[in-house]
Structure 1
Amino acid sequence: MSSPNKDSYETMLAVVQAFHDKHDFKNTGGEEMTYRIALMAEELGEISECVTKGKPVAELAEEVADLMILLMGTAIAQDFDLKQAFWDKMEKLQARESRMIDGRIRVSEFRNS
């Protein structure tokens, strides 16, 4: 019998689900959305600090991983398929045009106003 691919999305999601179960997030406020948004904002602040203060890439990677875990946990808490949402969004993004705005590339739904 082959071992599961530890890098597969399904395996990673199962590990995050086990973490939620271990700490009973569902019944102890860990899956409440206002709280989760605050945690995500905190992680974005830590990511920003890594970039603006020139911290080592290993520290940046750890903070980005924290955000990824929170995102996956949000999919668990709100019972949606993040992998499918990713592919649906990428399909939309691939169809969009890009523009240079203030010297940086931007891919968005540009509206003529």
Structure 2
Amino acid sequence: MNEDSYQQMLAAVQAFHDKHRFRETGGEEMNYRVALMAEELGEVSACVTKGKPKSELAEEVADLLILVMGTAIAQDFDLNKAFWEKLAKLDKRDSRMINGRVRVSEFRDQD
């Protein structure tokens, strides 16, 4: 198994888009991509709720990651940069226990 860098992964997703001519055939249209991501998230959920093996969960999460990376390609934004910027913001946030689970968010207390 290869230890791929983000740039290698992005290039592979770009090659997949090119191979199937996503830009020319509607595969990069955002409403379509959002529907595909929702479908994949449903498949991730099914793996968890039905107790499927981790290998199946990994495959569905990989599908979702490929779609997310493809969305960055389709919309021409730097997902790597956005990831690190967002993680830096999240790292500054506080966490709270809500219903017995940790939550990291921008909490806005009601006065």
- Name the structure 2 match of 1:110: 107
For structure 1, the 5+ residue unaligned runs are none
- List structure 1 runs of 4+ shifted beyond 2 angstroms: none
For residues 82-105 of structure 1, give each alpha carbon's deviation from its aligned partner in whole angstroms, at most 9, with x where no partner exists: 000000000000000000000000
Residue 61, structure 1, aligned to residue 58, structure 2: yes
Using the TM superposition, give the Cα deviation of residue 70 of structure 1 relative to its aligned residue in structure 2, in angstroms: 0.1
For residues 12-39 of structure 1, give each alpha carbon's deviation from its aligned partner in whole angstroms, at most 9, with x where no partner exists: 0000000000000001000000000000
Cα separation, 2, equivalents of 1:62 and 1:68: 10
Using the TM superposition, give the Cα deviation of residue 112 of structure 1 relative to its aligned residue in structure 2, in angstroms: 1.7
How many residue pairs match? The answer is 109
Identical-pair percentage = 75
Residue 26, structure 1, aligned to residue 29, structure 2: no
TM-score (norm 2): 0.96
Contact kept in structure 2, 1:6 and 1:12, CA below 8 Å:
no
For structure 2, the 5+ residue unaligned runs are none
For residue 109 of structure 1, give the secondary structure of its aligned residue in structure 2.
Answer: coil
Which of 38, 49, 54 aligns to 2:35? It is 38
TM-score (norm 1): 0.94
Residue 92, structure 1, aligned to residue 86, structure 2: no
Using the TM superposition, give the Cα deviation of residue 48 of structure 1 relative to its aligned residue in structure 2, in angstroms: 0.5
CA RMSD across the alignment: 0.9
For residue 69 of structure 1, give the secondary structure of its aligned residue in structure 2.
Answer: helix
Cα separation, 2, equivalents of 1:6 and 1:53: 30
